[in-house]
């Protein structure tokens, strides 16, 4: 399965009108730990806790787009069972590397 193009997402990635950077980071952190499967809750919450505050706005946009993907697909990508879509490959590799060091 391939990733969903950004223009087809239910919710377009990016800061919401009037949303501060701090609020956006907190919102994405909450979305990272309230997924659908526990494995992704743990993997993404740990990653988000350590990395979101350091990300650029463009990196936050990409991470937010990643959060719109299906958990089963995300788990297969992070665990290396399947290749991720090209737009997420660097981010998935970073998340997988972060997860492997824990």
Residue-wise pLDDT tens digits, 44-59: 999 999 999 999 999 9
Residues 6+ apart with CB under 8 A from 66: 74, 88, 91, 92
DSSP state of 45: H
pTM check: above 0.85: no
Residue-wise pLDDT tens digits, 22-46: 999 999 999 999 887 899 999 999 9
CA angle 49, 51, 52 (to 5 degrees): 80
The interaxial angle of helices 89-100 and 71-79, nearest 10 deg, is 70
Taking residues 63-88, report their average pLDDT. 93
């Amino acid at each position: 399965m391939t990733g969903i193009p950004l223009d087809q997402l239910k919710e377009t990635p990016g800061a919401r009108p009037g949303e501060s950077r701090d609020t956006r980071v907190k919102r994405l952190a909450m979305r990272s730990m309230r997924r659908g499967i526990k494995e992704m809750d743990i993997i993404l919450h740990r990653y988000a806790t350590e990395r979101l505050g350091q990300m650029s706005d463009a990196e936050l946009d990409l991470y937010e787009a990643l959060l719109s993907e299906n958990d089963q697909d995300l788990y297969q990508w992070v665990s290396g069972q399947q290749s991720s879509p090209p737009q997420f490959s660097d981010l998935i590799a970073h998340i997988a590397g972060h997860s492997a060091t824990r």
